[in-house]
Amino acid sequence: MENNVTDKKVNIPEFSVSELSLALKRMVEDTFSYVRVRGEISGLMRAASGHVYLSLKDENAVLEAVCWKGVAAKLPFVPEDGLEVVCEGKLSTYPQRSKYQLVISRMEPAGEGALMALLEERKKKLAAEGLFSPERKKSLPYIPSTIGVITSPTGAVIQDILHRLNDRFPRHVIVWPVQVQGREAAGQIARAIAGFNALKPGERITRPDLLIVARGGGSLEDLWAFNEEIVVRAAAASEIPLISAVGHETDTTLIDFASDHRAPTPTAAAEAAVPVRSDLQFKTADLTQRLEAARRRFFKGLHDKLAGLERGLPSPRDILGLATQRLDDLNIRLPRGLASFLQGQALKLQRIAGGLTVLTIRQSVHLKMSRFEDYSRRLEMAFVTTSQARVSKLSSLGRVFESLGYHSILKRGFAVIRDSGGKAVTFAKNIGPGAALDIEFKDGHVPVVASGSEPPAKNKAPGHRKAKPSKKDQGSLF
């Protein structure tokens, strides 16, 4: 029995690990070369290479999946965790880890319900951040000089916008071409909004006064790029006023809430961007006529008012008549008054001249001279009296100074001793042996040199007493 079992084991072919893994890979890929799988995305990861790795799960199982870079770039939406999707592809194995996985060739949301749920969740999140707040929305310029349009350059949308602008009010338009659908669309739209805002005044490319982000109609999946966070945040951060015109009237995307103005169609966006020039011309002409009529009425009212005031005023002849009459009267009285004044002054001069004789002048001069001589004598007497008082006082002060000066003391037999610096010496202990001294007597100075052996006390203030000897050093009195 044991020999039969051994023979059977020997007859089974032996595989290497690689051979067995390759055989399993072929069998799985042949059996499941095309499958459609529905599940919820979990554990999504984007590698640096551009490949997307994820898991599809339901309530009972998990299936690993991979979406290669080329396929991921063409997806009409951005996959996210929690989104229910339907994936098409084939099953394959990954021998290095002994696992199987779904290689995705196409991915779409599992119906609009899944996208709508994701859209509502994202809308609540962004609204909570204040990106949709009406307070942050900017007003549109009335007549922008330059308009920036972000859309596909090949679609009918840009032609509709340009045609409508030319009909209403031709403006300078700068088109930033972008994809409006697909995996790369959201990034391109966000970069275009940021790029227009990054332009500075005075550069070669004119900075727009208004932006229009436009796309034609389509399904929810087709318009999904305008629901991406990167696009919504770029629209909310735009310093240039922005009009969103995505889809038709019934289509609504998140960029519509973040923009400063939402237009139902691209054509409506052009209408909101500029007014009708012919209407403005008509309105300007009408306002010009009304202004001219108002001007005429205003000046006519002033003229009528001035005419009414003129009727209430007296005539200039009546106003100036009294002043003219007074001027004539003064003109007549002036020569007579001047003659009378000159006559009075002549009489006054004659009276003064009659009193001016040689005797009178001499008497006046003699009186003035007498007064001058009297003033001179009084001034001289006052000067002499004051000078004598000052001399007497000065003599008295000199006697006092002489009595208080040390020269009077020298006359009584005393002398003044000075050191080499000319300073008076008042204590004998301050004089050391060999010190040069000067003795001033009554009749002159005598230079001397001090003798003796005891040096003068240093650093002792005058009157300093020598310390008493201690009892230990005190000698006997006997």
Q: Is residue 172 part of a domain?
A: yes
Q: Are residues 216 and 259 in the same domain?
A: yes
CATH code of residue 74: 2.40.50.140
Number of domains the chain is built from: 3
Please tell me the pTM assigned to this model: 0.48
Q: Is residue 383 part of a domain?
A: no
Q: Are residues 102 and 185 in the same domain?
A: no
Amino acid at 453: S
Give 453's DSSP letter.
S
The C-alpha angle 34, 38, 44, rounded to 5 degrees, equals 100
- Hey, what are 124's tokens? 């609540």
The C-alpha angle 271, 272, 274, rounded to 5 degrees, equals 70
Residue 449: phi and psi, rounded to 5, are -125, 130
Q: Which domain-ending residue is among 278, 313, 337?
A: 278
Q: Is the dihedral of CA 328, 332, 337, 338 positive or negative?
A: positive
Closest CA to 56 of 91, 94, 24: 91
DSSP string computed for 302-339: HHHHHHHHHHHSPPHHHHHHHHHHHHHHHHHHHHHHHH
Q: Based on the number of CB atoms within 10 Å of its own CB, is 193 exposed (0-12), middle (13-18) or buried (19 or more)?
A: buried
Report yes or no: 119 and 227 within 8 Å, Cβ to Cβ: yes
Q: Which domain-ending residue is among 278, 303, 324?
A: 278
Q: Report how far apart the first and last C-alpha atoms of the chain are (Å, whole number).
A: 152
Q: Is residue 328 part of a domain?
A: no
Q: Is residue 98 part of a domain?
A: yes
Alpha-helical runs (H) found in 41-168: 69-72, 112-128, 156-168
What dihedral do alpha carbons 297, 301, 307, 309 form, nearest 10°?
-170
Residue 45: phi and psi, rounded to 5, are -145, 130
Q: Are residues 163 and 43 in the same domain?
A: no
Q: Based on the number of CB atoms within 10 Å of its own CB, is 271 exposed (0-12), middle (13-18) or buried (19 or more)?
A: middle
- Hey, what are 148's tokens? 């920036």
Q: Are residues 211 and 266 in the same domain?
A: yes
Q: Which domain-ending residue is among 110, 135, 168?
A: 110
Q: Is residue 105 part of a domain?
A: yes
- Hey, what are 316's tokens? 């200039």
Q: Are residues 40 and 159 in the same domain?
A: no
Q: Are residues 105 and 182 in the same domain?
A: no
Rounded CA-CA distance 390/378 in Å is: 18
Q: Are residues 92 and 152 in the same domain?
A: no
Q: Are residues 150 and 268 in the same domain?
A: yes
Q: Are residues 151 and 248 in the same domain?
A: yes
Q: Which domain holds residue 35?
A: 11-110
What are the DSSP E strand ranges found in 26-158?
35-46, 52-57, 62-67, 84-94, 99-109, 146-151
Rounded CA-CA distance 161/12 in Å is: 75
Q: Is residue 20 part of a domain?
A: yes
pLDDT digits (tens), the chain, 478 positions: 555 555 555 677 787 888 888 888 888 878 888 889 988 889 999 898 889 999 999 888 999 999 998 888 888 777 888 888 889 998 888 877 778 889 999 888 776 667 777 788 888 989 999 999 999 999 999 999 999 999 999 888 999 999 999 999 999 999 999 999 887 899 999 999 999 999 988 788 899 999 999 998 888 878 888 999 999 999 999 999 999 999 887 888 999 999 999 999 999 999 999 998 888 888 889 999 999 999 999 999 999 888 888 777 777 777 777 788 888 888 888 888 888 889 888 888 888 877 677 777 788 888 889 888 898 899 989 999 998 989 888 888 887 777 777 777 777 778 888 888 888 888 888 888 888 888 888 788 888 888 865 555 444 444 444 444 444 444 433 3
How far CA 32 is from CA of 26, 36, 95, in Å, comes to 10, 10, 17
Q: Name the 3-class secondary structure at 199.
A: coil
Q: Is residue 235 part of a domain?
A: yes
